[in-house]
């Protein structure tokens, strides 16, 4: 499986979660919290990961690709859809939770992606890894080499969360529902990679969530 991050960086004890498409739902719920209704499914509420917890202190880079919960005007947005909403933008309480992670978080979405920006080019939802893996890898590498974590930078300071007053109250599904109907081969393996692989597949989501990497000895 394609992994552009040097092995010595992957073995330093950092947590590098990423999620693609449906997998990005799961990553978002890990850090922002979740709960609500998506389609015919009602999701139980969950708290987001505490930035001061042992697990939170090891998070160095979080990437969400093609997220249907993409929300406009957030400081961690990347690419041309920075000012666009997905179908189920985050609630304000979830944006407040994600604000704490902004130093280690990127939300990748192009404006033509139908999943995260209401676009009309399906291929632009499918080709993130093919087009942008190297760029993302450079960012992750800089985060790891710089030993950047939320706690290393602190969580104080003025908020840049943008309230979304017109957002829907309908929320996405849990991890189990998000992955239902998706073949196992469409998900990354926590045992084999900690970063998006280049993929030509067109279905499902991909996630390696809260992968704890061994320390480099």
**Is 217 domain-assigned?**
no
d(CA 202, CA 143): 29
**Which pLDDT score, from 0 to 100, does residue 173 have?**
31
**Which pLDDT score, from 0 to 100, does residue 10 have?**
53
- Positions of the chain with pLDDT under 70: 1-12, 38, 151-217
* CATH number (domain holding residue 72): 3.40.50
Burial grade of 108 (CB within 10 A; 0-12, 13-18, 19 or more): buried
User: What pLDDT digit, counting tens, does each position of 119-169 carry?
Assistant: 999 999 999 999 999 999 999 999 988 878 876 655 443 333 333 333 332
d(CA 99, CA 92): 10
**Is 213 domain-assigned?**
no
**Which pLDDT score, from 0 to 100, does residue 177 have?**
28
Q: How far is CA 162 from CA 72, 80, 217, in A?
A: 8, 18, 42
Are 3 and 197 in contact by the 8 Å Cβ rule? The answer is yes
**Which pLDDT score, from 0 to 100, does residue 185 have?**
31
Domain ranges, residue 71:
7-208
How many domains are there within the chain?
1
**Is 216 domain-assigned?**
no
**Is 39 domain-assigned?**
yes
**Is 42 domain-assigned?**
yes
**Which pLDDT score, from 0 to 100, does residue 25 have?**
87
d(CA 142, CA 138): 6
Residue 41 C-alpha from the chain's centroid: 22
Tokens of 73: 């005007």
**Which pLDDT score, from 0 to 100, does residue 131 have?**
93
Are 206 and 187 in contact by the 8 Å Cβ rule? The answer is yes
């Amino acid at each position: 499986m394609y992994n552009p991050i040097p092995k010595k960086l992957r073995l330093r004890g950092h947590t590098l979660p990423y999620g693609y498409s449906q997998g990005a739902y799961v990553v978002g719920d890990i850090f922002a919290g979740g709960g609500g209704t998506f389609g015919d499914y009602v999701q139980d509420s969950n708290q987001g990961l505490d930035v001061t917890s042992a697990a939170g202190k090891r998070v160095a880079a979080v990437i969400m690709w093609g997220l249907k919960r993409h929300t406009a005007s957030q400081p961690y947005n990347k690419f041309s859809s920075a000012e666009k909403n997905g179908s189920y933008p985050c609630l304000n309480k979830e944006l407040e939770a994600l604000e704490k992670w902004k130093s280690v978080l990127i939300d990748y979405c192009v404006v033509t992606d139908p999943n995260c920006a209401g676009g009309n080019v399906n291929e632009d939802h499918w080709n993130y890894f093919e087009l942008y893996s190297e760029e993302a890898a450079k960012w992750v590498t800089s985060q790891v080499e710089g030993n950047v974590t939320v706690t290393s930078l602190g969580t104080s300071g003025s908020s840049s969360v943008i309230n979304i007053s017109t957002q829907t109250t309908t929320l996405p599904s849990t991890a189990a529902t998000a992955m239902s109907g998706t073949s196992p081969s469409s998900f990354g393996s926590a045992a084999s990679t900690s970063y998006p692989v280049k993929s030509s597949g067109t279905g499902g989501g991909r996630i390696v969530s809260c992968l704890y990497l061994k320390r480099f000895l």
